[in-house]
Amino acid sequence: MHNDSQLTWKDGQPYSTIFEDIYFSQDHGMQESEYVFLQQNQLEQRWQHLDKTHFTIIETGFGTGLNFLSSCQLWLKSSQAHQRLHFISCEQYPLSLAQMQQAHALWPELADISAALLEQYAYLGQGFHRFHLFHQRISLTLFIGDVMEMMKQLHSYADAWFLDGFAPAKNPTMWQREMFDWMARHSQANTTFATFTAAGEVKRGLQNAGFVVNKIAGFGKKREMLSGHFSADTIKARPTASLTKSQSAIVLGAGVSGLTSAHALAKRGWQCTVIEQHHDIAQEASGNPVAVLYPKPNDGDNPLNQIAITSYQYSLAWLQQLHLSPQDCNFCGILQLAENDAEAKRFESIAKKLPTLTRWVSAEQATEIAGVKIHQPALYYPDSGWIRPQQLCRRLAQDTGIDFQFHQHALRIEQIDLGWRVWDGTRIVGEAEVLILANAYHIADFTHTQHCELTPVSGQISFLPSSPQLEKLTCVVCADAYLTPNIDQYHSLGATFEPFQTDISVTEEAHRQNLESLKNILPEMDTSEFNTKNLQGRSAIRSCSFDYLPFVGAVIDTQNMPSQTAFLRDKSLLPPLLRGLYIHAGHGAKGLLQAPLCAEILACQINAEPMPVGLDLLAALNPNRQLLKKLGLKAIKQQYQDPLLSDVQSR
């Protein structure tokens, strides 16, 4: 949510009316950023000799993004091409896109980096956002909200701290003991910090938390500032990432879940083999000719709403960077119709909370947008639309580092010393360090994952021949079904929802159900013109979890689980994990929406990188949650408290 009223301009520079303070030095803002944060954290020297795959900076105030832009410029110059910068920051009062553009115009030397950021910046709302820049050499994780809220949800160790934000006298709620103690818990050997302030309470707070603090000359007219490092004497044992040299992975399933997972790993230099039982990619639900992208949010603070909104924001930016052809996607907008007055009021509330993503429109406005008569108010998603999922999968399959084995049936998996082995009957079809199960409800077919049950749900789409009335439709319209504009002389309508059904025959009854749903979208449409005997369609199986959230993450070792009594005695005890075994499945009809973000979550867990979402949402996606719930355990969230723990603990 943007807060334009919180900022004014003085002499061409941004000024906060809330904190009554400037965002950066009026004379030499960029030089001050470089001196205070880059030089005092010794970033150029450290990056030139960096011996790991990624480096993490955590900043306490994003502001105009100047520190981020300066860090990007130095990273691109100093690091190696295979290394990734993770820059984590938060901002309670984010600037609007127009304000960011105006501020960035002050630094023309950063124009390319600014453009890479701002093309994604428009989709901000409360919570976590992840943006990728320069072919994913740089990842920005931006939390919109209070820094204290970010502390509760973040799970990463910093290599360097940028303590920015307005002066302690102006913003005392940030500069307090809770933050300094949190910094200590998220620091490690060689972690450094720098801050523009030299305030005594800041110095003492850092020292009490275990930091060695130096008072040095400030920039320009500012006499002093603070810098230093985390004391090795206060560091408790930290797990370290110990990825093998092979960086090899097998992915079972060549649908959207599997290919987004392979894509996320391939971008990190992994070699992925995708094993598929069919003759080609995207032959199951991902083979539908058209899918629509919209979040369908509710009006609550719950995991279903969080994953919907966060995934939608991520997917919009992610899809832009794939550069799909106009024939394979059309962001023509989507109208989500209100079914009754209560839902219309709820939609109004949602639109107020998500002004950068959607807006509430009246029936008259919806009619003007859609080009056909609409009788209900609606939520309008102007940046969304339809995509050909099979073509999306083909685009992902082109990545360097992804190979395929078709006509292979993964009937058994086996843990071996170096990772995992996949068997097709009596024949080995693959071995790798990491195995990702992305084969829908078949994930529970293996002994190791029988506790991860998904429900098969059949769904049929009907293809309506275009007609004079349907031809006028200019965007996707959704009610209890969706209707697309004309795509290759047909309009996709669907889909039915039949839990526990695995028959994918196209039936007249399913066509009739879809046509009945069409009446809720276009009540004046005469559906009798469509003969269900002649209609074409496609049926496929989707997979849903018991709580309609996907399964994403590492798998518990059920054979070596401590007793329930042991967990009750030791609250710090965690369920053991099977090293290198992961799941990405259970999206139901939301694969296009959720899979890109979930694949990023999985890749970060495998590579011990900072997560793109908070602890609460990670816990809600844990693929073992049903088992843990049955056992009465509350250790789900703790499984992710340490960003390296999830994989390292089993090594």
pLDDT band, residue 649 (cuts 50/70/90): very low
Q: How far apart are the first and last CA of the chain?
A: 42
What's the CATH number where 474 sits?
Answer: 3.30.9.10
The reply to whether 289 falls in a domain is: no
| pLDDT per position as a tens digit, 259-277 | 999 999 999 999 999 999 9
- The pLDDT-based confidence of 4 (bands split at 50, 70, 90) is very low
Beta-strand (E) ranges in 116-242?
A: 127-133, 138-144, 158-163, 187-195, 211-217, 224-230
Task: Kindly state whether residue 295 falls inside one of the protein's structural domains.
Answer: no
Whole-number percent of the chain with pLDDT over 70? 91
pLDDT at residue 136, rounded to an integer? 95
Residues 255 and 228 in one domain: no
Q: Is the pLDDT of residue 176 over 90?
A: no
Judge whether 85 lies within some domain.
Answer: yes
Nearest C-alpha neighbor of 432 from the set 603, 572, 252: 252
Whether the predicted pLDDT of 639 surpasses 60: no
Spatial separation of the C-alpha atoms in residues 158 and 153, rounded to whole Å: 15
Question: What's the rounded Cα separation, in Å, for the pair 23 and 166?
Answer: 7
Asked if 55 and 66 sit in the same domain, the reply is yes
Are 110 and 255 contained in the same domain?
no
Q: Which of residues 489, 511, 543 is at a domain's end?
A: 543
In this structure, the answer to whether residues 59 and 138 fall within a common structural domain is: yes
In this predicted structure, the answer to whether residue 236 has a pLDDT above a threshold of 60 is: no
Same domain, 101 and 171: yes
Alpha-carbon gap, residue 539 to 496, rounded angstroms: 9
Q: Of the candidates 483, 515, 543, which is a domain's last residue?
A: 543
Would you place residue 647 in the very low, low, confident or very high pLDDT band (cuts 50, 70, 90)?
very low
* Maximum pairwise Cα distance, the chain: 83
Question: Whole-angstrom Cα distance, residue 128 to residue 510?
Answer: 39
Ranges 28-37, 412-421, 549-558: which has the least confidence: 28-37
8 A C-beta contact, residue 567 and residue 630:
no
Tell me the mean pLDDT in the region 34-44: 97
The confidence score (pLDDT) of residue 107 equals 92
- In a domain? residue 121: yes
Mean pLDDT of 620-641: 74
Residue 450 has pLDDT above 80, yes or no: yes
Burial code of 554-593, b = ≥16 C-beta within 10 A, e = fewer?
bbbbbeebeeeeebeeeeeebbebbbbbbbbbbbbbbbbb
Q: Which of 129, 190, 140 is nearest to 1 (CA)?
A: 129
Give the pLDDT band of residue 646 (cuts 50, 70, 90): very low
Mean pLDDT of 59-72: 95
Say if residue 358 is exposed, middle or buried (CB neighbours under 10 Å; 0-12, 13-18, 19+). buried
Does the pLDDT at position 650 exceed 60?
Answer: no
262/165 same-domain check: no
Q: What per-residue confidence (pLDDT) applies to 155?
A: 84
Looking at residue 516, its pLDDT comes to 96
Where is average pLDDT lowest: 11-20, 53-62, 214-223, 330-339?
11-20
Integer CA distances (angstroms), 167 to 34, 197, 253, in order:
18, 7, 52
Task: Identify the pLDDT of residue 113.
Answer: 98
Judge whether 27 lies within some domain. yes
pLDDT of residue 642: 41
Point out the domain boundary residue: 543, 565, 586. Answer: 543
- Domain assignment present for 562: yes
What's the average model confidence in pLDDT over 238-243? Answer: 48
| Pair 159, 13 in one domain | yes
Strand partners, 476: 334
Total number of residues shown for the chain:
651
Specify the pTM: 0.94
608 and 581 share one domain? yes
Beta bridge partners of 543: 456
Q: Are residues 597 and 623 in the same domain?
A: yes
Averaged pLDDT for residues 234-256 = 73
Mean pLDDT of 598-622: 95
Q: Is pLDDT at 338 greater than 70 in this prediction?
A: yes
pLDDT of residue 614 exceeding 80: yes
- Residue 206, sorted as left (phi over 0), alpha (psi -120 to 50) or beta, turns out to be alpha
What tokens were used for 48? 């030139």
Per-residue pLDDT band for 475 (boundaries 50, 70, 90) equals: very high
Which whole number is the average pLDDT over 405-421? 96
Q: What is the pLDDT, as a whole number, of residue 28? A: 78
Nearest CA-CA partner of 539 in 496, 481, 570, 491: 496
Position 175 confidence tier, pLDDT thresholds 50, 70, 90: confident
Long-range contacts from 625-629, C-beta under 8 angstroms, 24+ separation: 625/547, 626/451, 626/452, 626/453, 626/545, 626/546, 627/451, 627/452, 627/556, 627/558, 628/556, 628/575
Mean pLDDT over 128-152 rounds to 94
The CATH number that applies at residue 432 is 3.50.50.60
Give the span between the Cα atoms of 111 and 132, in whole angstroms: 17
Q: Which amino acid is at 427?
A: R
Residue partners of 585: CB distance under 8 A and separation at least 6: 253, 257, 437, 438, 439, 440, 441, 443, 454, 543, 550, 551, 623
The confidence score (pLDDT) of residue 23 equals 67
Least-confidence region, from 115-129, 364-378, 513-527: 115-129
For residue 80, the domain's CATH number is 3.40.50.150
In a domain, 379, yes or no: no
572 assigned to some structural domain: yes
> Is a pLDDT exceeding 60 seen at residue 249?
yes
CA–CA separation, 600 and 265 (whole Å): 8
* Between residues 648 and 193, the one the model is more confident about: 193
Percentage, residues of the chain above pLDDT 90: 76
Same domain, residue pair 429 and 528: no
Both 585 and 520 in one domain: the answer is no
- The count of domains in the chain is 3
Is 385's pLDDT higher than 50?
Answer: yes
> Is the domain of 93 the same as that of 176?
yes
- Domain of 435? 248-282+391-454+546-648
pLDDT over 90 at 645, yes or no: no
Picking from 21-35, 135-149, 410-424, which range would have the lowest pLDDT averaged per residue?
21-35
Q: Report pLDDT for 300.
A: 85
- Integer Cα distance of 592 and 392 in angstroms: 9
What is the chain's Cα-based Rg?
A: 26
Q: Is 604 helix (H, G, I), strand (E, B) or coil?
A: helix
Read off the pLDDT of residues 115-138 as tens digits, 9 standing for 90 and up.
Answer: 999 999 987 888 999 999 999 999
Side chain identity at residue 128, one-letter code = F
> What rounded mean pLDDT belongs to the chain?
90
